[in-house]
A and B are shown apart, each in its own frame.
Chain A
Amino acid sequence: MTWATIVKSPDAAPVAPSLLDYERVRATFAWAQARAELDGLPGGRGLNIAHEAVDRHAAGARRDRVALRWLGKRGEVEDITYGRLSELTARFANVLRGLGVAPGERVYALAGRIPALYVAALGALKARAVFCPLFSAFGPEPIRARLAIGEGRVLVTTEALYRRKVAGLRAALPRLEHVLLVGAGGRPTAVPDTRDWHALMNAAADRFEIEPTDPEDTALLHFTSGTTGTPKGAVHVHEAVVAHHVTGRWALDLHPEDVFWCTADPGWVTGTSYGIVAPLTNGVTSVVDEAEFDAERWYRILQEQRVTVWYTAPTAIRMLMKAGAGLAGKYDLGALRFCASVGEPLNPEAVVWGQAALGRPFHDNWWQTETGGIMIANLAALDIRPGSMGRPLPGVEAAIVRRVADDRVEVVAAPDVQGELALRAGWPSMFRGYWGEPARYRKCFAGDWYLTGDLARRDRDGYFWFVGRADDVIKTSGHLVGPFEVESVLMEHAAVAEAGVIGKPDPVALEVVKAFVALKEGWAPTPELRRELLAFARTRLGAVVAPKEIDFAPGLPRTRSGKIMRRLLKARELGLPEGDVSMLEEPA
């Protein structure tokens, strides 16, 4: 079935789209123009994300505007103005200085969406430390692996998360010197080998002058998953703020008076680039909800906060669809002007449902941890092709390529041909490396092209369409899960001889993690053992990474070189002919 194009009349829009003339801007744009929209550090001392996001507004007309409106799980509301955010982040930068944290050292955060997380992120950037967020639903093993790879020196977390997930890891993390605990409700903490966040913050000065920052200085470390090996830490630099800022304005249509809500958690790149940086550089009010998805709560937030621009994810949208348009109809969503979605391809039904139920269609866009910011998007002023990821933003050159040798690709000029999506290297938020793994980084490029690992096609009008992953990485609820990380943990169980992990298609989450396990001699495939393995995996990995289903198999298919053939496991799971695995490698 083909879906009708959603036709826009940008000239008639009550608020003019910020990227009104896509073709003209795309033809003439250079990144230096976007850089010129930012201030830079006073006195020509470089470019620092925290200055663009916070301090320049705090020193100007937006000082008293609400930067973050925090909505607590229990109904609390806390408004933090740009002025106050500048003071809080200065305090944390001074705390880091007091702890002897040098520029470039890694400051991690493991917390739900609480104000301290946002202060830690921006304060670390002020101190020119490297900020690395961890998703609070991770289990101990993903936390340990990521802290070890990035050699975190400081961790900001909550007392509850520390006790449950981190305390037992300390011996395995000798580089982790300082753990700062945020007590529940601001209460003081007294846990051995940790410091109290509030005590340190209260004792620190609320002014901090950002030292000269080279735009190429490392700012952010975001972990993502590959098919094989350990998680990869994508390195981003302060220069990335140029892309965060202008893509926020264009792809999310941010205007200075907007109230913006990005539902993503800062544990993932969306929640940092667009949950922290882009709304603040654009000077808008950013809503942060501490609670997890709840259809009624979400509609209430859209209504009560008068949210004008909303950035959410396909899994959440599909859950709202399950809740029904009737529920949406009970709320006044009249303030809402622009809705966008990211995380995995948004099905056309959901794009169109937005228009019917919310009065606004969803604008799907595409990017990755490695790209640092939105690259391809359905835009406010352009017609939407439901099911498409949209068109490349100005400054972004995207192409469909075909690999012709190990290190060479050929651009496919003809439309409607499937191939690998590639981006011409050089945009400001492009990752500058995988932490400590130069070879793995180099493998992502062929000549000038960054190879995304996503299969796509481009139609004759320049819209891109996602087809699938070129590798075995699992997309679930908007997150990437590396099968190897899950298999490794399962293999640690005494009963497991081998494990193969795939993404099983799911109507809500796109895919769910499913494991196939072959047992060692002497172990029987009982329901009790399945339960035990599930418990084992969940305890080690956390609910978001652990398998939702485990099947026993007598043995797992392997290639001659001994690699588990996940594609064959997937073919079996889907009931496809096993001989025809090409279908999975290159979906038609």
Chain B
Amino acid sequence: MTRDEIRATVLRVLGAIAPEADLAALRDDVDLREQLDLDSMDVLNFVVGLHAALGVEIPEADYPRFATLAGGVEYLTARRGADAPA
């Protein structure tokens, strides 16, 4: 899976949780909670959704990596690379 595919998956999962969000306008390095008005359950569902979509185990300690879109994509790309080279 390429970085772009991972990014598309992250956006798809986000879109299911916050369908009102204008994903095209999302800024890569600004806090997602602030941009999308997510609450703590949304954040939890976001990470759970990514696990389901990509099969990557995400320990709770790594949740802060998902504060921004760029951080989340980078994390998943590295993890996917390590787990199962695309």
Contacts and interface: CB of A to CB of B under 8 A. Distances in A.
Interface of A: 73, 137, 139, 164, 292-297, 315, 319, 322-324, 327, 476-477, 506, 508-509, 512, 531-532, 534-536, 538-539, 542-544, 548
Residue from A292, A296, A319, A543 whose CB has the most chain B CB atoms within 10 Å: A543
B41 A512 contact: yes
11 contacts: A292-B43, A293-B40, A297-B64, A315-B40, A319-B44, A323-B61, A532-B19, A536-B20, A538-B37, A539-B20, A543-B42
Interface residues of B, number: 19
A476 B61 CA distance: 24
B61 A508 contact: no
Given A137-B39, A543-B39, A544-B39, 18 more contacts: A137-B37, A139-B37, A292-B43, A293-B40, A295-B63, A296-B61, A296-B64, A322-B60, A323-B61, A327-B61, A477-B40, A506-B41, A534-B20, A535-B19, A538-B18, A542-B37, A543-B38, A548-B42
Given A294-B64, A319-B60, A535 B40 contact: no
Contact of A548 (B43, B45, B60): B45
Interface in B1-46: 16, 18-20, 31, 33, 37-45
Nearest to B45: A548
Given A534-B19, A535-B19, A538-B18, A477 B61 contact: no
A296 B60 CA distance: 10
B41 A477 contact: yes
B37 to A, nearest CB: 5
A327 B64 CA distance: 14
A335 B42 CA distance: 33
Interface of B: 16, 18-20, 31, 33, 37-45, 60-61, 63-64
Contacts of B42: 543, 548
Contacts of A476: 41
A324 to B, nearest CB: 7
Given A319-B40, A544-B39, A295 B60 contact: yes
A535 B16 CA distance: 9
Given A295-B60, A295-B63, A323-B61, A508 B20 contact: no
B41 A548 contact: yes
A502 to B, nearest CB: 16
Contacts of A509: 41
7 shortest interchain CB distances as A-B pairs? A535-B20, A323-B60, A535-B19, A543-B39, A531-B19, A539-B20, A544-B39
Contacts of A543: 18, 37-39, 41-42
Contacts of A531: 16, 19
Contacts of A539: 20
Given A543-B37, A543-B42, A548-B41, A538 B19 contact: yes
Nearest to B21: A535
Contact of B61 (A73, A164, A295, A538): A295
Contacts of B18: 535, 538, 543
Contacts of B60: 295, 319, 322-324, 327
A50 B43 CA distance: 37
